[in-house]
Amino acid sequence: KAGVTQTPRYLIKTRGQQVTLSCSPISGHRSVSWYQQTPGQGLQFLFEYFSETQRNKGNFPGRFSGRQFSNSRSEMNVSTLELGDSALYLCASSLVSSGANVLTFGAGSRLTVL
Amino acid sequence: KQEVTQIPAALSVPEGENLVLNCSFTDSAIYNLQWFRQDPGKGLTSLLLIQSSQREQTSGRLNASLDKSSGRSTLYIAASQPGDSATYLCAVTNYLGSGGSRLTFGEGTQLTVNP
């Protein structure tokens, strides 16, 4: 079966712009969680969605937002981009809660902010 | 606040060696612990998941142990191969009052297995 698909894989933006990243989970998975990975901070939790509801949010500013659709696909948006937002953004899906089951990660979306 | 530490940060071994990667966490009220592998520029691949009630899990040449009371886990890799070269990450799950959960990751151990 298809894995977790993230698009786009690579993108370059300039400061002040906004970006939307997409994540399609494994078929049947209802939980989608997002992580930011940077060399300095490692992997940090952004948010978790389940059945179109945000269950949990990490310690990120309001510029970071997300949503989940009825088909479990999820998007995250970052507005007013800053240089420090350059990172690999990873999405993971699981059957139910992200903590109870094995997570399957996508390949990530690498964002560069100039 | 949960904190996860992995030691060593980097490890280089010759092919065939057995090795141990260490992970420690500060809050023992975890739901489970997972070990992941990450290849350069790629996403994470789940290797093993240990529930809080379990002591260890095995998959092929990999064995992970969990001592929840002391806040420690180890990943044992037997007969290492060059293809095992990657960054290994440990993550613990804590449940939150909202019904959601949060994974906290360590910084990872970068493993190089030399032919």
Residues in B closer than 8 angstroms to A107, CB to CB, are 42-43
Instruction: Decide if B93 touches A, using CB distance below 8 A.
Output: yes
Task: Determine contact, residues B66/B56, Cβ cutoff 8 Å.
Answer: yes
Is residue B33 a contact partner of residue B97, using CB atoms and an 8 Å limit? no
Q: Is B62 on the interface with A (CB under 8 A)?
A: no
Residue A7 is predicted with a pLDDT of 97
**Mean pLDDT (whole number) for B84-98:** 88
3-state secondary structure labels for all residues of chain A: CCCCEEECCEEEECCCCCEEEEEECCCCCCEEEEEEEECCCEEEEEEEEECCEEEEECCCCCCEEEEECCCCCEEEEECCCCHHHCEEEEEEEECCCCCCCCCEECCCEEEEEC
Residue A100, pLDDT > 80, answer: no
Q: Helix, strand or coil for residue B82?
A: helix
Q: How many angstroms away from the CA of B9 is the closest CA of chain A?
A: 12
Give the pLDDT confidence score for residue A1 in this predicted structure.
62
List all residues of chain A from 46 to 65 with a beta carbon under 8 Å from chain B.
Answer: 48, 50, 55-56, 58
pLDDT of residue B79: 97
- pLDDT, one tens digit per residue, over A53-85 is 998 888 999 999 999 999 999 999 999 999 999
Q: Is the pLDDT of residue A101 over 80?
A: no
The verdict on a CB contact (< 8 Å) between A55 and B94 is no
pLDDT band at A90 (very low <50, low <70, confident <90, very high): very high
Nearest to B44 among A55, A98, A105 (CB): A105
Which pLDDT score is estimated for B114?
97
Percentage of chain A lying above the pLDDT 90 cut: 75
What is the average per-residue pLDDT within B21-36? 94
Structure tokens at B69: 């009371």
> Other CB atoms closer than 10 Å to residue A2's CB: what's the count?
8
d(CA B101, CA B34): 14
Residue B40: pLDDT band (50, 70, 90) is confident
Provide the pLDDT for residue B98: 63
The residue type found at B23 is C
Per-residue confidence (pLDDT) for residue B19, from 0 to 100: 96
Residues of B in contact with A59 (CB under 8 A): none
Is B105 within 8 Å of A102 when comparing Cβ atoms? no
Residues in chain A, overall count: 114
pLDDT at A97 over 80: no
Mean pLDDT over the full length of chain A: 92
Lowest-pLDDT range, B8-12, B35-39, B97-101? B97-101
For the record, the structure tokens of A54 come out as 């945000």
Residue A98 has pLDDT above 60, yes or no: no
- Chain A interface, best mutation among B25, B88, B101, by max A CB count within 10 A: B101
Residue A99 has pLDDT above 60, yes or no: no
User: How far is the C-alpha of B101 from the C-alpha of A92, rounded, in Å?
Assistant: 13
Chains A and B form CB pairs within 8 A to the count of 69
Task: Decide if B42 and A100 are in contact by the 8 Å CB cutoff.
Answer: no
